[in-house]
Amino acid sequence: MSTEGILIALLIGAIAGWLAGMIVKGGGFGLVGNIVVGIVGAFVASWVLPQAGLSFSTGSPIITSILYATIGAVVVLLIVSLIRRTA
C-alpha cells in the first residue's frame, strides 16, 4: 500500500470513527481511538453488509467508503458499550 493509500485510509477511519462517536452517545475515543474504531468498522462493514445482502454506492468511492466504515464503526461501538456495561 502506498503512502497516499495509508493516509486516505487513516482519514476515512478518522471521519467514520468521529461520525460513529456522534451517533453512539459516549462512544468517542479521541482522535487515535476514532481512527482505530473507523478502520475496524470498515473491516466489519465489508464483511457484515454483503452477508446481510446490503450493498450500495453513492457514486463517489470516498463517500461510499466513509458510509460503510461509519456503519461498521457504529456496530463496533455498540458492541464495545455492551461489553463495558457488563464488565
Asked whether the beta carbons of 33 and 13 are under 8 A apart, the reply is no
Listed by start position, the domains of the chain span: 3-86
Query: What is the C-alpha to C-alpha distance for residues 38 and 44, in angstroms, rounded to an integer?
Result: 10
Say what percent of the chain tops pLDDT 70: 95
| Residue 67, pLDDT score | 93
Burial class (CB in 10 A: 0-12, 13-18, 19+), 13: buried
d(CA 50, CA 39): 17
pLDDT for 30-69, tens place per residue?
Answer: 778 888 888 899 888 888 888 888 887 888 999 999 999 9
pLDDT at 82 over 90: no
**Cell numbers 478518522: residue:** 14
Distance CA(48)–CA(42), nearest Å, equals: 10
